[in-house]
Structure 1
Amino acid sequence: MLDKNNEGLHRGLKERHIQLIAIGGAIGVGLFLGSATAIKTAGPALAFSYLIGGLVIFIIMRALGELAVAYPVAGSFSAYANNFLGPLAGHVTGWTYWFMWVVTCMAEITAVGIYVQFWFPQIPQWLSALIALVAMTVVNLINVKAYGEFEFWFALIKVVTIIAMIILGAGMIFLGWGNHGEPVGISNLWSHGGFFPHGIEGVVMSLVMVMFAYLGVELIGVTAGEAESPEKSIPAAIDKVLWRILIFYVGALLVIMAIYPWNEIGTKGSPFVLTFSKIGIPAAADLINFVVMTAALSSCNSGLFSTGRMLYNLALQKNAPPVLGRLSKHGIPYVGILVSSAFLLVGVILNYLVPAKVFIYITSVATVGALYIWGIILVAEMKFRQSLSPEELARVTYRTPLWPYASWVALAFLAFVLVLMAFDSGTRIALYVGPVWFILVIASYYIFGMHRRNQEGSEALQFTPANARR
C-alpha cells in the first residue's frame, strides 16, 4: 500500500514552500553565469531554444504531477519505476538520481568557496565549502519545515533578482534608464546577423546547454511525500512551471540581448552584472555574487533533501541497506542525509587531491542521469495509465495533456538531446562514462542479491493510488 512507502515521514511542506521549491528547481546558477556561453551558440534565438526545452519540461512535469498526485510518496520516481517498471528499474533510478545530486552538490559547495573568496580571498576555499556543507546538513536534520523555509527564501532571492533585472532592463529599453534618457530599443535582437545568426543549427546545438539548465525542476516530485496537501499543492506548482520558464528564462534573456549586442555578451562578465551596473546600481558585482552564492547553497540544500529521501525509499524497496530507512523522531531520514553528506565531504577533499578533469567526467554522468530520470518519469506515467481500468481512469483528475502523443514527443526529444551530446567535446565524454555507471549499478543489483530479496518481498512494495482510497 501507499502508506508503506511514506511511513513515518511528516507532511510539513506548505503550499508556499512547494511553489518556491518548484521555482527554485527551474532556476539554476546557469542562468546567472552560464547564459553567456549559450548565447554565443545560438544568439538571440537562444530564447526560442529555451521555449522549446520549456515545453518539453512542462510535459515531463505534468506526467510527474499525475503520478505524484496519485502516489504522494518519498522517493518519487524511484518508487514509480519500482512499481510500474520493476524492481531493477527502481534500483537503477534511485541510485542514479542519488548519484546525480551528490555530484551536483560537490560542484555547488566548491562553488560556494569560490564565491566567498570574491569577498574574503584570505579564507581557504575548502573551509567555506565545509561550512556550507555542515550548515545545510544541520538544516536538513532539523525537520522538513526547516528545509522548506530555507528553500523558500533562497528561491525568493533568485526570483526577486530576475524580476528586478527584467523591470530595470525594460526601463532601459523603452524609457532610456541608465542610457541618458535615450531608449535602447530592441533592434539588437536582429541587428547583428539576424535573430538566427547561426541558423537552425545554432538553436539545435544550444539545446544541450538549455536542458542542462533545467536540471532540478523534477525536485518537486520528491517533495510529494512530505507535502501537506499534495493533491492541491503539486498541481498548483506544476501548472505554473511553463509561464515561469517564459518569464524567468525567455523574458530575462530577451531583455539582456535587447540591451547588449549578443556577440559582445560574455566578454565583459555576467550579463546580469552588466545590466545592474549600467542602470547605476552600486556594487552590482557584489549583488550578483551574493545571488549566485545563495543559488549554490539552494542546490546543496535541495540535494541533501532529495538524496536523503531517495536512499530512504531505496531501503524500503530493499535496494539499499536497511539502516538507510531509519527516521528521526521528527520523521527525517537522518541516516540517508548523513551518508550523502559524508560523500560530499569526500568530494571536497578530492577537489584538492585530484585534477579538476575528474569532476568533469563525473558531472557528465550526472547530466546523462538527468535525461534518464526524465525518460523514466514519462515511461512510468504511460505504464500507470495503461494499468488503470476505465473506472479508475475516470477518478484521475490531474492528467498529462495530449496523452500519449505529447509523452512520446518528449521521449523522442530527450533521445535527440542525448545524440547531440556526441557533437560537443565537452559533453561527448558522458556517452562513454554514462554507460559504465549504468553497468555498475545493474551489476550491483545482482551481485548483492537484491533481485532475490525483491522477489521475496515484492508484495510489500505495491501501493494504490491516493484517490482510490477516498
Structure 2
Amino acid sequence: MSYSVSEQGALAHGFKQRHITMLSIAGIIGAGLFIGSGHAIATAGPAAILAYLMAGALVILVMRMLGEMAVASPDTGSFSTYADRAIGSWAGFTIGWLYWWFWVLVIPLEAIAAAAVLNTWFPSVEIWIFAFSITALLTITNLFSVGKYGEFEFWFAMLKVIAILAFISLGTVALFGWLPGREVSGLSVLMTQNGGFMPNGFGAVIGALLTTMFSFIGTEAVTIAAAESKDPARNIAKATRSVIWRICLFYLASIFVIISIVSWNDPLLPTQGSYQRVLEILNIPHAKFLIDTVVLVAVSSCLNSSIYISSRMIFSLSKRGDAPAFISKTTRKGVPAFAVIASTFIGLLIIALNFFAPSAVFSFLLASTGAIALLVYLVIAICQLRMRYKLEQSKAPIVLKMWMFPLLTWLVIGFITAALTTMVILPELRNEVSATALLTLFTISLGLLNQKRRRAIPQPLWLPRPNSD
C-alpha cells in the first residue's frame, strides 16, 4: 500500500530485512559492555557473571512476552501502546514518557563518551565541541529516511559483532595457552584468590544488576524498529527467537573471558574498562587505541539508536494524544522530523548542562533513569498477563507464545518487584531508585490529568488489529 505520508502522518516501511536482523543482533550494544562491565566486576567480583545471567534471563523472558504482543499487533509505540490498551491511557502515557526520557538521557551520555575518545586523538578540540558535532551529524542522518538510519546501524552493528567475536576468540585462545609468551591464570585460580567467587556477598551481585540492566536495555527496541519494516510480525518473531543466543554469545561469553583473565580487584579494571584491561594483560599492541576505536563505534551506534528510539516513542505518544499534536507530523519520506528534532534538542540541552551547569544537576538527571529499565520490564509483564487472557477469549491464533504462561510471567513480576525492593534497601542504590520513583509519580500524575483531558471513548482491553505505525 502506498502512503502520502505528509497527509497521513504515517511512518515509511523503509527497514530492510538485513537492517532488522543486524539491529536485533547488536544494535544496542554500547559502552556498557566494553567499559561498564568493568565496574560490575569490580563491584561483585567474578560473581558479576551471575548479575549478567540474571539480567539476561530476565531480558529473554521479557522479550518473549513483548514478542507475543508485538507479533499480534505491531506498533511503533510498542509496550507503551500495549500499556495504554491493557492498563489504561495513564499507564501508556507514563511508561512512554519515562522510556522517552531514558533515551533522551542516553543521547548526552553516548555523545560525551564519543567526544572523550575523539578528544584523546585530537586534544586541541574541546570535548563539548565534539559532543555537539557528533549529535548534530547523527541527527541529520535520522532526518533523511529510516532506510539511511538502518544502513548506518547495519554497519555500526556489523563492526561491533566483529570486534566482540574477535575478543572472545582471542580470550579463548589465551585461556587454552595457545598464545606464546602470554600465560594467564584462568578462572579456576581467580575464583580461589582475593575472596573467591563472591568476595562482596550476594548484595553486591544485586547491586551490579543495575549496571548490567543498563547494558541490556534497548533489546526491546527491535519491536519499535520492526514496525517500520515491510513484514513486522515476521521480523519481530525472528528477532525474539534469536535473543537467547545473542545474550549468551555477546554478553555471557565476554564476561566469562574477562573474569577468567582479569582479577576482579585489579585497580585499573573500572577505570580503563574490561576489554582494554584484558588486551593489556595479553600484551596486545596498541590495546587502548583498538578499544577506543571499538568504543567510538559502539557509542556512536547507541547515540544513533537513542535518537531513533526516543523520536519514535514520542511520535507514538503524539499519535495517541499524549504529546503535542505537531510531533506526529512526518515528511514525505515518512520521517517524524519534529519528533527527531524535539528529542535531539532536549539531548543537546542536557549536554550543555553537563558542561556549563553545576555537576549536581546532571547527576540528578542521570539518577532519575536508574530504575526505568526494570519499570519498563514490569509494565511489559503486566500487559502480557492481561492481554493474553483477552486474546484467548477472542479465539484469535497466538503465533508466538510466552513459555509456561502464566507461571513465568508471574515469576518475572515477582523478581522485578524483589529487585526494586532490594535496591531501595541498599544505601548505594537508594538515591537512584528514589529519583526514578519521584519522576514516575510525577509522570503518573500528569498521565491521570491527561486521561481526564482526553475523555476518549474507552478502547477494548485488547484485540489484535492490522499492522499500524
* Contact 1:59 1:410 (8 Å CA) reproduced: yes
- Indicate the RMSD between aligned Cα atoms, in angstroms: 2.5
Q: Is the 8 A contact 2:142 2:308 kept in 1?
A: yes
Contact 2:72 2:465 in 1 (8 A): yes
Which position in structure 2 is the counterpart of 1:153?
Answer: 155
Question: How far 1:228 sits from its partner (Å)?
Answer: 2.2
- Residue 380 of structure 1 is matched in structure 2 by 383
Q: Residues 184-242 of structure 1, C-alpha deviation per residue, up to 9 Å, x if partnerless?
A: 54433423133333343443332222222212222112113212222221121122212
Q: Does the Cα contact within 8 Å between 2:353 and 2:361 map onto a contact in 1?
A: no
> CA offsets, 1:416-449, max 9 Å, x none?
22123234444321233223222332333455xx
Output the amino acid matched with 1:191. Answer: T
Provide the C-alpha distance between the structure 1 equivalents of 2:204 and 2:435, rounded to a whole number of angstroms: 26
Shift of 1:159: 1.7
Note if 1:14 corresponds to 2:13: no
Gaps of 5+ in 2: none
State which of 285, 298, 302 in structure 2 corresponds to 1:299.
302
Q: Which runs of 5+ in 1 are unaligned?
A: none
1:88 is displaced (CA, Å) by 0.9
Contact 1:176 1:184 in 2 (8 A): no
2:367 is aligned with 1:357: no
Shift of 1:265: 6.1
Cα distance in 2 between the residues matched to 1:415 and 1:27:
26
Instruction: Give how far 1:164 is off.
Output: 0.7
| Identity rate, percent | 32
For residue 360 of structure 1, report the CA deviation from its aligned partner: 2.2
Task: Name the counterpart of 2:415.
Answer: 413
The more displaced of 352-361 and 236-245 is 352-361
Q: Measure the CA separation in 2 of the matches of 1:229 and 1:63.
A: 19
Q: TM-score, normalised by structure 2?
A: 0.91
Of stretches 54-63 and 242-251 in structure 1, the one that deviates more from structure 2 is 242-251
Q: How does 1:138-287 map to 2 (within 5 A)?
A: 138-179=140-181, 185-192=186-193, 193-264=195-266, 266-267=268-269, 269-287=272-290
- Aligned residue for 2:464? 465
Check conservation: 2:390, 2:463, Cα contact below 8 A. Answer: no
One-letter amino acid matched to 1:373: V
Q: Which amino acid aligns with 1:451?
A: Q
Q: CA deviation at 1:367?
A: 2.5
Write the distance in 2 (CA, Å) between the matches of 1:432 and 1:468.
38
Q: Give me the whole-angstrom Cα distance separating, in 2, the residues matched to 1:423 and 1:353.
A: 34
CA distance in 2, matches of 1:270, 1:468: 43
2:95 to 93, 114, 123: 93
Distance (whole Å) between structure 2 residues aligned to residue 157 and residue 381 of structure 1: 35
Code of the residue aligned with 2:359 in structure 1: it is: A
The 3-state SS of whatever aligns with 1:367 is: coil
2:323 to 302, 320, 325: 320
Q: 1:115 matched to which residue of 2?
A: 117
Contact 2:187 2:260 in 1 (8 A): yes
Greater CA drift, 395-404 or 105-114: 105-114
Asked if 2 retains the 8 angstrom alpha-carbon contact of 1:161 and 1:291, the reply is yes
Measured in 2, the distance between the counterparts of 1:436 and 1:210 equals 23
Task: Return the match for 1:127 from 129, 133, 136.
Answer: 129
Q: Distance in 1 between matches of 2:236 and 2:467?
A: 18
1:63 deviates by: 0.7
* Structure 1 residue 349, shift from structure 2 partner: 1.4
Distance 2:184 2:322 in 1: 61
Larger CA deviation: 13-22 vs 71-80? 13-22
Q: Contact 1:365/1:433 (CA < 8 Å) preserved in 2?
A: yes
- Deviation of residue 68 (structure 1)? 1.0
Alignment coverage as a number of residue pairs: 461
Tell whether 2:336 aligns with 1:333: yes
Residues 141-191 of structure 1 show CA distances to partners (whole Å, capped at 9, x for unaligned) of 1111111111122222222111111111111111331535x5754433423
Deviation sequence 1:18-43 (CA, Å, 0-9, x none): 22222335533121112222112222
Check whether the contact 1:26–1:217 (CA below 8 A) recurs between aligned residues: yes
* Structure 1 residue 311 corresponds to structure 2 residue 314: yes
Q: Measure, in 1, the Cα distance between the counterparts of 2:204 and 2:44.
A: 4
Query: Counterpart of 2:348?
Result: 345
Structure 1: distance between partners of 2:315 and 2:457: 17
Q: 1:468, CA displacement in angstroms? A: 10
- The question of whether the paired residues in 2 share the 8 Å contact of 1:38 and 1:206 is answered with yes
Once residues 463 and 344 of structure 2 are traced to their aligned partners in structure 1, the CA distance between those partners, rounded to angstroms, is: 33
Runs of 4+ in 1 over 4 A off after TM superposition: 182-185, 423-426, 461-464, 466-469
Which residue pairs with 1:454 in the alignment? 454
Q: Equivalent residue of 2:315, what SS? A: helix
- Contact 1:36/1:265 (8 A) holds in 2: no
